[in-house]
Amino acid sequence: MAPRTSPEISGMGHSMKRKEDPRFLRGQGRYVDDIVLPGMVFMDIVRSPFAHAKITKIDTARALKVPGVLAVITGETLAKFNLHWMPTLMSDTQMVLPTEKVMYQAQEVAAVIATDRYAAADGVEAVEVSYDPLPVLVDPFKALEPGAPVLRTDKKGKTDNRIFHWEAGDRQGTDAELAGSEVVVKQDLYIPRIHVSSIETCGCVADFDRAQGKLTVYMTTQAPHAIRTVFALVAGHVGLSEERIRIVSPDIGGGFGGKVPVYPGYVIAVAASVVLGKPVKWIEDRMENLQADSFARDYHISAELGAKRDGTMTALRIKTIADHGYTDAAANPSKFPAGLFSICTGSYQLGHAFAEVDGVYTNKPPGGIAYRCSFRVTEAVHAIERLTDILAHELGMDPAELRFKNFIPPESFPYHSALGWDYDSGNYAAALRKAMDRIGYAELRKEQAEKRARGELMGIGISSFTEIVGAGPSKQFDILGIKMFDSCEIRVHPTGKAIARFGTKSQGQGHETTYAQIVAEELGIPAAHVQVEEGDTDTAPYGLGTYASRSTPVAGAAGAVAARKIRDKARKIAAHLLEVAEEDLVWEPGKFSVKGAPQRSKTIQDIALAAYTNHPQGMEAGLEAVSYYDPPNLTFPFGSYICVVDLDRGTGEVKIRRFVAVDDCGNIINPMIVDGQIHGGLTMGMAPALLEEISYDEDGNIQGGSFMDYLLPTAMETPSWETDKTVTPSPHHPLGAKGVGESATVGAPPAIANAVVDALWHLGVRNIDIPITPEKVWRILHEKGVAE
């Protein structure tokens, strides 16, 4: 679709350069650690070497003698104010600092406040903690066995380690359908723990102003308003009521889901600032970030897919054990303990489906947050896309052909899925067809057959995923009871420039640019003259924040609706200025003109001036509007990815030769930014497919707790991504847009895993769990006698 606005206005469809980049590229961004306040002191944290232990003594005497150390805060200190425990976003409870026992390695045990960062670190070294180790549970299956030690002894009456049991769909109907299916493929899949590794770690500056009784917290958060409310609920009893709390989320160096939870460090820093009456800065180091912040994935999936001999899918049954660590600190909407995992029927017409998930406590850091995925969608997509490939191979069908056979057809939208979602729009076959044409699918299959005859290992993997983003409609979606609307407030100034404030918070996605483009599209004010602000709870309208690719579907929609309210008022003013009836005016981006007399017109700038200088009598002056947008549905972006791999028979290395990604996120606001989101997301999808994993030994010691062992992809490992698109607008979004920020991370892993298994299927390999490391492949090559 060609843009409706000129490049000067740069509304939707223009690849306008990012307004925020000049400051980022020049090193002039303002991140939390750039904030320096007068009299500021520093905090560092003592962490547990044990995964499960009783704390018998904390001796702070030596630490307090370290020059520069001002205070040591322990669980006992916080307990005096009843602040040693806090609620999680899933209504579980989490320790701020322990008074009895630690539950995972690297858990916070005490905090040292000092005049500088070095003294704080020396103080941490000098705190003496005595521990009495307790039996450790790292395996969620063992944790569920009868007789397993109960970890959450703080919960009265709790007799096991199960957090929740959740299910969706029709159990009996699915069982019956599977029992009668001509073919059933079954596969266990493990999707390991991984961790987002944003360039910027987490941290805050907590500043309690005793004179005003006001707390300001500059912090790395994706959801400042929700955090303010949580703080008010947690600390209201010590006088911190919500109007006295201001959360500021400054520039953020990557969030990816890891900056949604409330970490103990933030709360301790706030407590320290209240106690000392000084600003307190706390910034995690890289190891703390990797070892103690919330984790993603850790799903043990057992999936079965039934079909007819001709490949028609009949039923899907999935059972999952979800390892949440010692507390359920997932950042899910309240009613969705397993997130949006029930999108697991994917892009296919499946008459029957049933999914169940059991959440389990173990001696690991809190898990269950997302890693660039809308609440467990990655896990769901991995399951269905892997199963689809296994079914194709089992039936001797081409995986593309099997997908075409089962896709929900374009005319069936809105489509009601067996697990209860109403998919808004889609054209799955078009996306897959485009990806196949682009990569030359038929020729690749020929090449593969020739290579295989020569003993070379080449594989082609497809993933035709459906995402579900834009949480969400208030009838189903809330976090701690707060409905998941989002907001925008626009003010047009007398000279026709504007400021637009949103309830979300960019972490690198480019909101300052794309939100300005939305306002430009609707009002015709050049995007260059629309200043976008987010992240300051004292000024921005209340919103639930940026995660789950919800900014465009929810806050972006609020922006369009607020702009349209302004346009309605502008029309009244234009009618007054031109002395015609409102119905006689026609709008084009940037001006109203009189029907049949186009030379008689008023620009939005003329109208803005009049709103302050010459507004109609009886009308309020000014030109501003606010919208709290409650989305009628989620948006369902989708795509088809095809990956070609060559396996090195000497080293087991997986080489991605080509990767074509065709994405569909409906109407696009800024094509360059969307491309950037997809490029970044693909690399971030390759990471768990090939490299990243965090595991624990039997004693709960973390393996992969530093960048020596936790492998992040670099430019060296990243292939040259080939991207393309189809455009299927969302029928319910005011701009027809769907979210896109996470699509690539969701779609990429199964395409890569499917490609590797495709290269090895003829040798009897059905599945390799991600990450598909050279070691795993090398072992298989040796086992099958095909190593070089």
Name the helix (H) or strand (E) containing 358.
strand 352-360
Residues from 705 through 744 that contact ligand CUN (CB under 6 A): 742
Nearest approach, Cβ of residue 406 and ligand CUN (Å): 27
Output phi, psi for 186, to 5 deg: -130, 140
Decide: is 467 part of the binding site for ligand CUN (CB under 6 A). no
DSSP letter (8 states) at residue 316: E
The two structure tokens encoding residue 626: 């606010």
Indicate the residue among 256 and 696 with the shorter CB distance to ligand MCN: 256
Nearest approach, Cβ of residue 222 and ligand CUN (Å): 6
Decide: is 346 part of the binding site for ligand MCN (CB under 6 A). no
Look up 372 and say whether it is catalytic: yes
Q: What share of the chain is helix, strand, coil (3-state, %, to 5)?
A: 30, 25, 45
Q: Which stretch binds ligand CUN (CB under 6 A): 368-376, 409-417, 567-575, 578-586?
A: 368-376
Instruction: Tell me how far apart the alpha carbons of residues 389 and 780 are, in angstroms, rounded to a whole number.
Output: 19
| Binds ligand MCN by CB under 6 A, chosen from 11, 123, 255, 399 | 255
Q: Which residue out of 94, 105, 107, 222 is catalytically annotated?
A: 222
Q: Which residues pair with 219 in a beta bridge?
A: 204
Interface mask (CB under 6 A) for ligand CUN, residues 426-465, using x and -? Answer: ----------------------------------------
Q: Which of 101, 166, 168, 111 is nearest to 136 (CA)?
A: 101
| Binds ligand CUN by CB under 6 A, chosen from 85, 218, 256, 485 | 256
Direct distance between the N- and C-terminal alpha carbons of the chain, in angstroms, rounded to an integer: 51
Q: Which stretch binds ligand MCN (CB under 6 A): 29-37, 293-301, 670-678, 747-755?
A: 670-678
Instruction: Tell me how far apart the alpha carbons of residues 543 and 630 are, in angstroms, rounded to a whole number.
Output: 11
Q: Which stretch binds ligand MCN (CB under 6 A): 97-105, 225-233, 547-555, 654-662?
A: 547-555
Q: Which of 629, 631, 614, 635 is nearest to 548 (CA)?
A: 635
Q: CB count, 10 Å around CB of 56?
A: 11
Nearest approach, Cβ of residue 296 and ligand CUN (Å): 8
Indicate the residue among 305 and 554 with the shorter CB distance to ligand CUN: 554
Binds 673: which of ligand MCN, ligand CUN, none (CB < 5-8 Å by kind): ligand MCN
Instruction: Tell me how far apart the alpha carbons of residues 351 and 174 are, in angstroms, rounded to a whole number.
Output: 9
Its sign, for the CA torsion 289, 290, 291, 292, is positive
Instruction: Tell me how far apart the alpha carbons of residues 43 and 615 are, in angstroms, rounded to a whole number.
Output: 55
**3-class SS of residue 576:** helix
Output phi, psi for 498, to 5 deg: -145, 160
Nearest approach, Cβ of residue 78 and ligand CUN (Å): 29
The two structure tokens encoding residue 54: 């009783």
Decide: is 552 part of the binding site for ligand MCN (CB under 6 A). yes
Interface mask (CB under 6 A) for ligand MCN, residues 737-756, using x and -? Answer: xxxxxx--------------
DSSP letter (8 states) at residue 551: I
Look up 742 and say whether it is catalytic: yes
Decide: is 485 part of the binding site for ligand MCN (CB under 6 A). no
Q: Which residue out of 385, 467, 692, 742 is catalytically annotated?
A: 742
Decide: is 257 part of the binding site for ligand CUN (CB under 6 A). yes
Interface mask (CB under 6 A) for ligand CUN, residues 546-585, using x and -? Answer: -xx-------------------------------------
Kind of pairing between the strands at 352-360 and 415-416: unpaired
Instruction: Tell me how far apart the alpha carbons of residues 461 and 751 are, in angstroms, rounded to a whole number.
Output: 5
Indicate the residue among 561 and 757 with the shorter CB distance to ligand MCN: 561
**The Cα angle at residue 18 between residues 17 and 21, in degrees rounded to 5:** 120
Q: Which of 738, 718, 678 is nearest to 554 (CA)?
A: 738
Binds 677: which of ligand CUN, ligand MCN, none (CB < 5-8 Å by kind): ligand MCN
| Binds ligand CUN by CB under 6 A, chosen from 77, 94, 181, 222 | 222
| Binds ligand MCN by CB under 6 A, chosen from 551, 601, 683, 754 | 551
**3-class SS of residue 73:** strand
| Binds ligand MCN by CB under 6 A, chosen from 14, 47, 372, 505 | 372
Query: Do 507 and 539 form a contact (C-beta atoms < 8 A)?
Result: no
Instruction: Tell me how far apart the alpha carbons of residues 341 and 312 are, in angstroms, rounded to a whole number.
Output: 23
Burial class (CB in 10 A: 0-12, 13-18, 19+), 366: buried
Indicate the residue among 372 and 403 with the shorter CB distance to ligand MCN: 372
Look up 202 and say whether it is catalytic: no
Q: Which residue out of 202, 373, 488, 665 is catalytically annotated?
A: 373
| Binds ligand CUN by CB under 6 A, chosen from 195, 317, 372, 658 | 372
Instruction: Tell me how far apart the alpha carbons of residues 489 and 559 are, in angstroms, rounded to a whole number.
Output: 7
Q: Which residues bind ligand MCN (CB under 6 A)?
A: 254-257, 372, 507-511, 514, 546-552, 665-666, 668-670, 673-674, 677, 680, 737-742
Residues that bind ligand CUN in the complex, under the rule CB under 6 A: 222, 255-257, 370-374, 547-548, 742
Task: Show which residues are catalytic.
Answer: 222, 372-373, 742
